Chain A
Amino acid sequence: MQGLSPDVWIAVRLTLELALLTTALLLLLGTPLAWWLARSRVRWKEGVAAVVAMPLVLPPTVLGFYLLIALGPDGPGGAIAGLWGARTLAFSFAGLVIGSIVYSLPFVVQPIRNAFEAMGERPLEVAATLRASPAQAFWRVALPLARPGLITGAVLGFAHTVGEFGVVLMIGGAVPGKTKVLSVAIYDYVETSRWREAGLLSAGMVVFSFVVILATILLGRRAARAGS
């Protein structure tokens, strides 16, 4: 088989970097958010939950459109970019990370929230009677118990970011090595009738998706067995 052009490998590497960084940030942001959604008693929390879940239903074009404005010189992104002398966060890796966080947020928050909710009050109450502080209870009891949810969230967030297309297309500008991720590269190959590259990369994505989904299912089953 003929080797693929270096552009392909640049795109693969960029995609992995984007997905890894996005997943790490999503776990950092999503875990406290999921904890709050699971534990809080305020009435408007489901409003927040709905906002978090919105990227599930909104077309990527809507997110892409708002991001393009928000990241640009007329939005907050332009002001932030101004700190290092740039005018916009669009067309940059940082811009893609921001877009991906918004886009994949529900895929990470939802499984973690479910895990926190599934454990119920009991483990935390027990921890409290053993004189654990709320922080200790969170770190030593809640988080380990929620591990299956954390793993599922991380896998889904990673996979969903790898598969992201519409948002990236709208704010990326297809800069090789910076914003030209796999899905955009595939689109480019299709558009320019380079079927061989398009076919190989697409097949790779199919295999990748299968592995990810299968892994998620198996993890879920193992967690269920461990819990029972």
Chain B
Amino acid sequence: MRIRRLAFVAAALGATWAAAWGASAARAAETHVAVAANFTEAAREIAVAFKAGTGHDAVLSFGASGQFYAQIVQAAPFEVFLSADDERPRKLAEEGLGVASQRFTYAIGKLVLWSRSAGLVTGEETLREAKFDKLSIANPVGAPYGAAAIETMKKLGLHDALKPKIVEGASIAQAFQFVETGNAEVGLVALAQIVGKQGSRWLVPQSLYAPIRQDAILLKRGEGNPAALAFVAFLKGPQARAIVEKYGYALDGAP
């Protein structure tokens, strides 16, 4: 009796596995994309539109650009890299790990001072008066938004005064999470992260920091994969660009 039941369970499991495997085998190609943390929400939406438009799957990994760079140098299985800066894709092209002709600016990031409390952030004076305990930023060495945050504070002459209040997230996603959980009252985060969020904000003027040009690059590993090529083409297209804009990024003149 028991043996028959076991056999039945095994058969059922086998059938499920076969069905799942069959489904994935029948699926269109997929491509692995490393996405800078600030672009998470937009990339998800782009992946859905990409799937609807081409049938291909974009498998997304999110993290800090610096971390992805280190992983790609060590032969991580990514085929497309959406960085939060333009320096790392350029370096990858130089090092022969990326396809130089397939490097382009997919978005220009905006830095914003954000608090989940209404009325706390009113403008530049919020940083000047510094009536908060903690200011959250991304790691300035690994994440471009962190570097932009430091640059902004230095331009305002506030870096030394604010330094004791700074806490760093490993990526801009974590910097945002520190503010969202209320552990830090304010944070310098990506505008894209707070689209549709409550609270108070100050869009940091572009004059205070160098434009955050976010470049994408097709990696050598993805050159032979039609899905990777299709994703890069899709990212340059009008549909993806509309999504990019919707999330508060500026666009480069011509891709």
A residues at B contact (CB < 8 Å): 68-69, 71-74, 78, 86-88, 90-91, 169-170, 173-175, 187-188, 190-193
Contact = CB atoms under 8 A, between A and B. Distances in A.
B94 interface: no
Contacts of A72: 181-183
B169 interface: yes
A88 B142 CA distance: 26
Contact of A88 (B70, B134, B169): B134
Contacts of B169: 173-174
Contacts of A191: 64, 66-67, 70, 139, 141-142, 170
Contacts of A170: 174
B69 interface: yes
B79 interface: no
Closest 10 CB pairs of A and B: A173-B167, A174-B168, A90-B183, A191-B66, A72-B183, A73-B182, A191-B142, A88-B183, A192-B141, A91-B167
Contacts of B178: 90-91, 173
Interface of B: 64, 66-67, 69-70, 73, 133-134, 136, 139, 141-142, 166-170, 174, 177-178, 181-185
A87 B167 CA distance: 14
A173 B133 CA distance: 13
A74 B168 CA distance: 20
B66 A174 contact: no
Contact of A74 (B64, B141, B182, B185): B182
Contacts of B142: 188, 191-192
Contacts of B170: 169, 174, 187, 191
A72 B66 CA distance: 28
Contact of A68 (B133, B141, B166, B181): B181
A131 B168 CA distance: 59
A91 to B, nearest CB: 5
Given A91-B134, A191-B170, A192-B142, 7 more contacts: A68-B181, A169-B170, A173-B168, A174-B169, A188-B139, A191-B70, A193-B69
A79 to B, nearest CB: 13
Contacts of A91: 134, 167, 178, 183-184
A25 to B, nearest CB: 23
A171 to B, nearest CB: 8
Nearest to B133: A87
A152 B142 CA distance: 39
Nearest to B185: A87
15 contacts: A68-B181, A69-B181, A72-B183, A73-B183, A74-B182, A87-B133, A87-B134, A88-B133, A169-B170, A173-B167, A173-B184, A174-B167, A187-B170, A188-B141, A191-B66
B182 A86 contact: no
A175 B168 contact: yes
A174 B139 contact: yes
B67 A68 contact: no
